[in-house]
Amino acid sequence: MTGKEATLYEKLPQQKVRCTACARYCEVAPGQIGLCGIRGNTDGRLDLFVYGKVIAGHVDPIEKKPAVHFHPGSRVLSIATTGCNWLCRYCQNHDISQRRRVEGQDMTPREVVQTALEYGADGIAYTYNQPSIFIEFARDVGVIARKNGLYNVFVSNGYDTPQTVEMMGEFLDCITVDFKGSAEPGFTKRYIGVPDPQPIFDTLLEIRDKTDIHIEITDLIVPQVGDDLRYARKLCEFVYDELGSDTPIHFLRFHPDYKMMDLEATPVRTLERHHHVAKEVGLEYAYLGNVPGHPLEHTICFRCGATAIERFGFDIRAWNLDENNRCLSCKNQLPIVGELSRNYKSNRFVFVR
């Protein structure tokens, strides 16, 4: 298998290498591949085997990521490679993320950007699998994207390192970090294959302290096994104390998939309880996701309670902000990056899947 030499790794004795792209820090001997399935040791150097291999691409609304305080209504070209550093038993993209064959459409970074421009996208999202494991490719795409007026978004599990955060700072504009199971160590160990979620918290502090990347938090609420309100409160308190009360947080509805088909979809009442915890803690902008038509999809002005942005699923139905993103009812400044995109009513297109 051939690839391009990675940047994020350290050389060890006996031609071993230590990958520094994620918090697993895999130590890989010659001829071996890390847990992610896409970073391996070739004669004492670490290669990224999926460099330029795009396994999926789709033009999405930014709200699907979900990011609702970052260029609302805009469109992103979402791309992925194979592989992942997590082993989620319920992954809805398992055919991509858990695939351990290097496959995909050959695309140079410039070709990815050109595709985004041709489809009228406002930015590029690196998603469907964990983007930090192919961050060298994402960085090369992202630098060119910025030069062409496009923004860059990671949809991430946050299980990263100081080295990945430093590289993110070269090109990334927005990141959504998904805590799955409310950051409960027992859940992450059993259902994700991650013994300790602490590196996710550490990554968020690194991003806060060393970059100006816009952050939104999500938490997929898995019923019965990952819906403990005590951990939801812990997460909300961390967001409030360390990231700020105006940081958006999304509680997402689980649906059965992959190896967890025996569970039901998350009861809406369970999601509403998590939302209530967020508001009790003091978070100003909490949302429910994957529940189209629920009133907690809307952005509510924290000061006066007026509906600032009305949504149905990923679509914006009403925009009640002025040109400076101030509430029309009380003139409160909402923490939203960018103005309403001209693309917010455009059709969505697929180019490869």
Contact between 24 and 188 under an 8 Å Cβ cutoff? The reply is no
84 is in an annotated binding site: yes
Q: Tell me the sheet residues that pair with 58.
A: 78, 350
Strands (E), the chain: 4-5, 9-11, 17-19, 27-28, 39-42, 45-48, 53-54, 56-61, 75-80, 105-106, 123-126, 151-156, 174-180, 214-221, 249-253, 286-289, 299-300, 307-312, 315-319, 350-352
Residue 232 has a CB neighbour count (10 Å cut-off) of 27
For the chain, the straight-line distance linking the first and the last C-alpha, in angstroms and rounded, comes to: 23
Q: What are phi and psi of 309, to 5 degrees?
A: -135, 125
What 8-state DSSP symbol labels residue 63?
Answer: G
Contacts of 186 (CB under 8 A, 6+ apart): none
Contacts of 198 (CB under 8 A, 6+ apart): none
Contact between 38 and 133 under an 8 Å Cβ cutoff? The reply is yes
As a whole number of angstroms, the distance between CA 19 and CA 10 comes to 7
Closest by CA position to 38, among listed 80, 67, 10: 80
C-alpha 163: how far from chain center? 18
As a whole number of angstroms, the distance between CA 172 and CA 185 comes to 29
**Binding residue positions for [4Fe-4S] cluster:** 84, 88, 91
**Binding residue positions:** 84, 88, 91
